[in-house]
Structure 1
């Protein structure tokens, strides 16, 4: 007797690094409920993250820039996916993010109400931010019945990216990073500038405390985050600066 077919699920993923990492809580909950094949539709830069999530079967590149509508292309993308999935989860709250699952004809399309997406989504959830204060709760709640109580934080499996020891060793060797002390990674940048960023002097205070405990600090980010990383280093006592390394702009997301 053949085994029953695994459910096929399409997730329209978020467009930010932190949100995509937190989305792994949803993938883990779906696999916990019932083994399934999960494909994630997201910007191409997400592929290194998704490849390290064992819950995900494959990443599908979303060929649109942030904010681009491109209705004709989205319709074509949706039609190309017809018949491939049993259910979709749409994590962004924008109207355009719900178009591809709709045009793909996926039978059940779940997401928070967002930009008035009735019709595009047929399993629409109303978001009460007081009931779901944390992003991980909002992601996991989509996998539950609409009338289920909010998931307790202690019941949510934390994100855990799978990285093999050879990849770790190669990344360390590439950046000439020692492994003789505990490392604290800091990501001080923000996409929308200082108004969304924790002040650099707070990061410096955290770094100073960690180094005093015998650790090292690595500062991650893109090339445009390098100035704030340098400000953090400059705010450290001179004797500690050798224990902090700026990797902003020096690593790929995969290496980071």
Structure 2
């Protein structure tokens, strides 16, 4: 086992400070949530290098995660063949990892640290990976049975693996995910793009308007126009999935600036970090805004924010009333006025400097 904090720091085992590997989830929002578990592991084993493994889409965000040394990549959903997994396992074997935390329950993922000969492979055997996963958190048997009306948030699930199934101390909360973009990088991005740092910015993340998790386009336009009339800039952020929606907004509001063609997700993080406030819907980019510390208002379907939303304190959720038709996902019951009020309150409570 790893030498946990409190073990003799003069021991040969502790001096080695062998690295730890964390198998993270592949989607952007899920990967960001895994940083809560990384922080717990780093606190438990201070000084040990921590590496992560995730999808090529999410891996660039690892450079912005405090306490993460580097990232390995594997195809989303762990679909590479046995030859590719064996190649990755050989590379991992050379790193001399002491332990692997499997925050994903995929058997395909669990095969890699087993092939790599990593001594401790920690996780819940939800796909019956007994032997492949050789250290089980306390209470692992309960994970095979769904019980009770209260759903468990994903951040709680990954933290439970990092805590080996133990409950955190009563006075301690689970750490919120964090992404860090330096002030120098933000200022450099502003200079390259001719951005006035004195002008407040509202970033909009719409997702695809055909997605039921989104919000009607005319309401986004109304919110954007309200801020532009008061001297704000409005930026449309996201990626290829949001480009059609961004074009639709700009057709009604040409003053909005479309950043959805940004080729690098790390640069997209600089855009969000340079924002004064963020308005978005359920999606990975909204998790990034929360982890970057940007005052955020997020539009969710009813009863979905607790399970699926970011846990960062400067995030405000707006949900439709339960009586709204299609209340589980649909967001049409959310008024523009409630969003404007939430944005005003959130920005005042969590002001940002230029």
The TM-score bracket by the shorter chain reads: 0.7 to 0.9
| Alignment CA distance shift 1:250-1:200 (3 Å) | farther
Q: Which residue of 2 aligns with 1:253?
A: 265
Which of 184, 203, 208 is matched with 2:202 structurally?
184
Aligned partners of 2:24 and 2:54 also within 8 Å:
yes
Aligned partners of 2:199 and 2:231 also within 8 Å:
yes
Q: Which residue of 1 aligns with 2:87?
A: 76
Q: Which residue of 2 aligns with 1:198?
A: 214
Secondary structure of residue in 2 paired with 1:112: coil
Q: Which residue of 1 aligns with 2:158?
A: 139
| Alignment CA distance shift 1:68-1:159 (3 Å) | same
Q: Which residue of 1 aligns with 2:247?
A: 230
TM-score with structure 2 setting the length: 0.60
> Is 2:123 aligned against 1:111?
yes
Q: Which residue of 1 aligns with 2:330?
A: none
The answer for unaligned runs of 5 or more in structure 1 is none
* Superimposed CA distance per residue, residues 166-196 of structure 1 (whole angstroms, 9 cap, x where no aligned partner): 2112222333333223333333226xx8346
> Is 2:73 aligned against 1:61?
yes
Q: Which residue of 1 aligns with 2:38?
A: 27
- TM superposition shift of 1:140: 1.4
Q: Which residue of 1 aligns with 2:274?
A: none
> Is 2:175 aligned against 1:175?
no
Secondary structure of residue in 1 paired with 2:111: helix
Q: Which residue of 2 aligns with 1:17?
A: 28
> Is 2:92 aligned against 1:85?
no
TM-score with structure 1 setting the length: 0.80
Distance 1:137 1:214 in 2: 40
* Superimposed CA distance per residue, residues 188-208 of structure 1 (whole angstroms, 9 cap, x where no aligned partner): 226xx8346323436456545
